[in-house]
Chain A
Amino acid sequence: MANPMARSFLQVAASEEVASPLRVVQIEGLAILKIIKHCKEFSPALVTGQLLGLDVGSVLEVTNCFPFPIREEDEEIEADGANYQLEMMRCLREVNVDNNTVGWYQSTLLGSFQTVELIETFMNYQENIRRCVCIIYDPSRSNQGVLALKAMKLTDSFMDLYRNNNFTGEKLREKNLSWVDIFEEIPIKVSNSALISAFMTELEAETPVSQCDYDRLQLSTSPFMERNVEFLIECMDDLSMEQQKFQFYYRNLSRQQAQQQAWLQKRRAENMARKAAGEETLPEEDPSNPIFKPVPEPSRLDSFLITNQIANYCNQINGVVGQSFNRLYLMKALQEN
């Protein structure tokens, strides 16, 4: 025990370099409740807030949080938002709460959070904090009796790519990165202080079922399904658009290649003639020629995100449908009895 303690701070700092990967996010019950309260109150509007806590080894502890005021699309107010954040942090430090930012939380609607904005925000956070997470809470799903809470982070390989803003097919293949590898979900562990646990046991009701269980038995699933399918349809449209972009790109590319070939052939013939005439040959590359200018390949990020989104919706539908079949059978059995 004493030995590790004897390590100097320098040594500690050095060993930090090979930090173990983030394994789990440990959230205080209080923080969760605060998040849920904030998100639910403003639903269906989407809200965000700051997560505070500590980064301990492979565990990221989230001990507190505070909401951001609802932003309006305005530059000035955005600056206000930053000020608010700083001010809030200062106040929290004064009352001796953890004031180390570890990420942010946001609410979402039916899991439609995979957007470019989220990635951008994440990258922004990543610049300052090496380890950060985004906690996503879905109030609409919580209505069905599940705690729809997710901790997400971007994978490292994706972040590399994103920094270079290089989403060509070649690079993606090189990195062996597919759409699944953009986000990484980190398991959440809720921890409470012993005092609170004790208090909770005290509070626990006599009845074996809670409100949550009743929610789970709700038979009407169609609104939820409808929304999901609608979103899916939208995604399909988006995906088609993306596909068209690629088709267009390939068409242009093949046309350009044909042009290049034609040009090369002509150049070669010319060179042969020149050779025959004893003149100097011309170079076979001509960078000034516009047909050699590469056609910019469209970014695959969007289609990746859309695919992620689709996968997300499908998962949700799957889950909900499975559950509702159970319920329906249950009801049927009940009716028969």
Chain B
Amino acid sequence: MASRFWVQSDNDTEEEESDYEDDIDAGGAGETAGEAAGSRYLQGNASDSDDSDGQKRVVRSAKDKRFEEMMATVDQMKNAMKINDWVSLQESFDKINKQLEKVIRVTESEKVPTLYIKTLVMLEDFLAQALANKDAKKKMSSSNAKALNSMKQKLKKNNKQFEDLINKYRENPESEDEGEQEQTEDEDESGSEFEEDPSKISMMSDSGEEDEEEDEEGGDNQAEGTGVWEKKMSKKDKLMDKQFMKDPSEITWDTVDKKLKEIVAARGRKGTGRVEQVEQLTFLTRVAKTPAQKLEILFNVVSAQFDVNPSLSGHMPINVWKKCVQNMLVILDILEQYPNIVVDDSVEPEEKETQKGTDYKGTIRVWGNLVAFLERIDAEFFKSLQCIDPHTREYVERLRDEPTFLVLAQNVQDYLERIGDFKAAAKVALRRVELIYYKPQEVYNAMRKLVEHTESGGNGEAEGDEEPQAVEETRGPPSFVVTLELVPRRPTFPENSRTLMDLLVSLIYKYGDERTKARAMLCDIYHHAILDEFSTSRDLLLMSHLQDGVQHMDISTQILFNRAMAQLGLCAFRVGLIAEAHGCLSELYAGGRVKELLAQGVSQSRYHDKTPEQEKLERRRQMPYHMHINLELLEAVHLISAMLLEVPNMAANAHDAKRKVISKTFRRLLEVNERQTFTGPPENVRDHVMAATRALSKGDFQKSFGVIKSLDVWKLLRNRENVLEMLMSKIKEEALRTYLFTYSSSYDSLSLDQLTTMFDLSDRLVHSIVSKMMIMEELHASWDQPTRCIVFHNVEHTRLQSLAFQLTEKLSVLAESNERALEARTGGGLDGLPPRRREGQDYAGAAMGKWQENFSHGRQSSGRLGFGVGGRPSASTQSSGGVFTKDRAGQSRGTGGYSSGYQSTRYQDAYGGVGRSYQTGTTGRGLQVDASARMVSLNRAGRS
């Protein structure tokens, strides 16, 4: 009956089972039943523990797993012992024997694990104890008693096999430290699910202490330690203390060298604690015998510190970074103190090189690369800034470490210059430049003040950082090799950021390699632009021909280029060169991916998803927050300059708006805006500019300016008043032009005074603008001087005429593509135009020129635009030369034509314009092509 019961109860809960068990106990059921119950209970328990292991998802080797199972069983046995449950004890004993086989199979060794032996001993003791206690035995339930008896026999039989091992263990339970160690570790891992036997713990800690003494000399359990490091290392540190403190005189160069090699060898190996390694090495620096050795160890410390952070995306912990910088400074101290020590990474140094002491006079070569270390430190600094949330205090704190780095860089550079390695010095100088270039004078001053402040504060930040180290050092013995603080610990900055930049970049231009030079140049351009020196920075850009080659450079340089362009645009805007500003910025905004191009955020692309790797790459390229160029300001500047150029342009070409587009981006925005049924009050930058555009196209300059002035971004500008004033006058001028374009056909004549009052401009200015328009033949009118009037000649072409022009243009395009098709068909080379095509164009050009007066301007002004982007470097420096040529350098050609051979040059211009636009030879076009190519390349690089 009972057995049937059991079959059923398979599905039942444990509680029920235990109830049954009680029943059975009471009823005095058979032993087998009891055993079965016990076993099921235990199994359930075992599977529980398995589950909990599964949750942790720790990957373990098979060996570890077996050991763990065994341990679980041991624990069960312990539990059973506590409640005197011999039935389960017996069950567990069987189990552990089975597991023993497995363990031996896995470890492939003949040796029986200590754990097992220990358990046997434990069981034996417990059994003896139980047998001795007659009273308790009597009280036992019959099943329990039976189990006890059978256990007694089993154990006796079993233990015979392991007799000597047990005896050995009994004599000296500590000798089997190894297994013990593993056991402790495993126990830690398996968590606190099982109640631990306090006696065992104490025993183990005992053995642990004794371990230390045993390990005294060798210390090479490093290799075999598979993860116990946490405890062991600290032990070993103490141990080293002990070892070296005991007899400082006994420490020889060899001991230290051996130790160093040992530690270095362990680097990167599984289970080597990175932090601990650093600590060990730091300790070694104190016991180094010669300065060269100390240097060598320090180099190792630094590289070990770099290892602390293994992942590429994360950054080095900040305290480690600071220590790293300090170490570098100490390295420099040593190099300063002993000029005969040479750092080199090209050749493997000889074995005993560092043994040469202070008294050695020849050069001592030590392996190491200062520049690489410095660059790495800089990269880590950069990364930390990328990772830290810029809106926290932590970020600001981190930024304060910048001078610390700068002083290091300065020292390294000084050292390198002293030893004559100018190439490396240029690299270091670039690092410094890249920390300085984006700082306007105010920020630079703030940095200087910060440095001075810490200086006057005496125990400044730098000192504060050193303190913990000092404390650490007091713990150990005083260093054998005392290094004096020779290199300055505080940076010295020149008064002016420009001076510093000049100093650094001139060094780089002299000695740097191509990439370094290009980057330095870009930084230089950026910095000039920040200081409102537009012409200087533009000249630099044009003379360096960076635009031509930038798409072949690495992405980070391209980003730097984009940043420099953006800054150049802002600068041009600040100094009132609208066309130039637009030229600089339009490229950036052409693709709508300005965020990506400036690396100031990841833009979400709607059309293709990036792979995680791409995203990671992109994330790694991001600029830290404090280096950002304000995107709103940039957009505002771009759109406003586009507006100032485009609104009169649209008014001038009301007939067919599509032909001459200055800013496609702007046109598109405007279209979208016009399609809206209701236009609400402006909210973002775009809305503002669009509202301003609407007002401006009606000639309402006041409203237009009002809307633009209400933008928030202006407070980011330094000389805000001046810029706004400039903007006001520009808007007025363009409003006047727009008005004349739009409404000139409605007037026969228009008095100058009327215009001056309408647009609130001075007589002279209105006069100059109108005259300029007449000369450019944008306005068909003439002055009537006595009455101060503009007399309009209505020579607007009729609709039919303009249509005819359109048709000719279409035809020439068609003829062109026809030629190309023919070429492709006949297999003629695509380079070099066939003569017929040229002729055809000539006709087209001549045909156009006949009627077209506005037409030739169209072409010309495309040249003008081109200048805005590239142009001639000298052209706008002559901007002071009269009103007519002011900021319209492209006009120089046109006006030249005007003064001499007015009519004939026009044809040529028109023709030349056509030809150029076909061959994509205009600077503007060429540049735009460049720009797109660059963007593509950026993209491609991003994708690959």
Q: Which residues of A contact B (CB under 8 A)?
A: 222, 225-226, 229-230, 232-233, 236-237, 239-240, 243-244, 246-247, 250-251, 254
Contact = CB atoms under 8 A, between A and B. Distances in A.
Interface string B791-804: 00000001110011
A233 B817 contact: no
B803 A222 contact: no
Contacts of A239: 814
Nearest to A235: B810
Contacts of B140: none
Interface stretch (B406-414, B422-430, B818-826): B818-826
B419 interface: no
A243 B800 contact: no
Given A243-B818, A254-B824, 7 more contacts: A222-B799, A233-B806, A236-B807, A243-B821, A244-B817, A247-B817, A251-B824
Given A246-B821, A247-B817, A222 B798 contact: yes
A239 B816 CA distance: 13
A247 B820 contact: yes
Give 9 closest A-B pairs by Cβ, nearest first.
A236-B810, A229-B803, A222-B800, A226-B800, A243-B817, A233-B807, A250-B824, A247-B821, A225-B800
Nearest to B813: A240
A239 B807 CA distance: 13
Nearest to A237: B810
Contacts of B817: 240, 243-244, 247
A232 B818 CA distance: 18
Contacts of B818: 243
Nearest to A246: B821
B223 interface: no
A185 B573 CA distance: 66
B811 interface: yes
A240 B818 CA distance: 9
A135 to B, nearest CB: 31
A237 B813 CA distance: 10
A230 B803 contact: yes
A239 B821 CA distance: 13
A250 B821 contact: yes
A229 B801 CA distance: 10
26 contacts: A222-B798, A222-B799, A222-B800, A225-B800, A226-B799, A226-B800, A226-B803, A229-B800, A229-B803, A233-B806, A233-B810, A236-B811, A236-B814, A239-B814, A240-B817, A243-B814, A243-B817, A243-B818, A243-B821, A244-B817, A247-B817, A247-B820, A247-B821, A247-B824, A250-B821, A251-B824
Contacts of B800: 222, 225-226, 229
Contacts of A236: 807, 810-811, 814
Contacts of B810: 233, 236-237, 240
A145 B810 CA distance: 32
Nearest to A244: B817
A84 B821 CA distance: 50
A233 B814 CA distance: 11
Q: Max chain A CB contacts within 10 Å: which of B798, B810, B811?
A: B810
B802 to A, nearest CB: 10
A219 to B, nearest CB: 14
Nearest to B820: A247
Contacts of B806: 233
Interface of B: 798-800, 803-804, 806-807, 810-811, 813-814, 817-818, 820-821, 824-825
A299 B369 CA distance: 69
Contact of A240 (B798, B803, B814): B814
Contacts of B811: 236
A258 to B, nearest CB: 12
A61 to B, nearest CB: 43
Contacts of A246: 821
A229 B821 contact: no
A170 B604 CA distance: 49
Contacts of B798: 222
Q: Max chain A CB contacts within 10 Å: which of B798, B803, B820, B821?
A: B803
Nearest to A240: B814
B98 to A, nearest CB: 61
A243 B824 CA distance: 13
Contacts of A237: 810
A232 B804 CA distance: 10
Contacts of A250: 821, 824-825
A149 to B, nearest CB: 27
A236 B817 CA distance: 12
Nearest to B806: A233
B814 A229 contact: no
B179 to A, nearest CB: 64
Contacts of A229: 800, 803-804, 807
A232 B821 CA distance: 22
A300 to B, nearest CB: 13
A232 B814 CA distance: 13
A233 B811 CA distance: 9
Contacts of A230: 803
Given A240-B813, A240-B814, A247-B817, A232 B807 contact: yes
Contacts of A244: 817
A251 B800 CA distance: 38
A72 B944 CA distance: 54
Contacts of B807: 229, 232-233, 236
Contacts of A240: 810, 813-814, 817
A79 B811 CA distance: 44
A230 B820 CA distance: 26
B825 to A, nearest CB: 7
A228 to B, nearest CB: 9
A222 B802 CA distance: 12
A200 B820 CA distance: 60
Nearest to A221: B800
A6 B275 CA distance: 124
A239 to B, nearest CB: 6
A229 B802 CA distance: 10
Contacts of B814: 236, 239-240, 243
B813 to A, nearest CB: 7
B817 to A, nearest CB: 5
A140 B814 CA distance: 29
B808 to A, nearest CB: 10
Contacts of B803: 226, 229-230, 233
Q: Max chain B CB contacts within 10 Å: which of A229, A237, A250?
A: A229
B848 to A, nearest CB: 16
Contacts of B820: 247
A244 B816 CA distance: 12
A226 B799 CA distance: 7
Contacts of A226: 799-800, 803
B837 to A, nearest CB: 15
A232 B808 CA distance: 11
A247 B817 CA distance: 9
A250 B807 CA distance: 27
B812 to A, nearest CB: 10
A115 B806 CA distance: 24
A126 B52 CA distance: 85
A249 to B, nearest CB: 10
A30 B133 CA distance: 138
B829 to A, nearest CB: 14
Contacts of B804: 229
Nearest to B825: A250
Contacts of A225: 800
A294 B703 CA distance: 63
A244 B820 CA distance: 11
A203 to B, nearest CB: 40
Nearest to B811: A236
B824 to A, nearest CB: 6
Contacts of B825: 250
A226 B804 CA distance: 9
A315 to B, nearest CB: 16
Nearest to B803: A229
B811 to A, nearest CB: 7
A251 B814 CA distance: 18
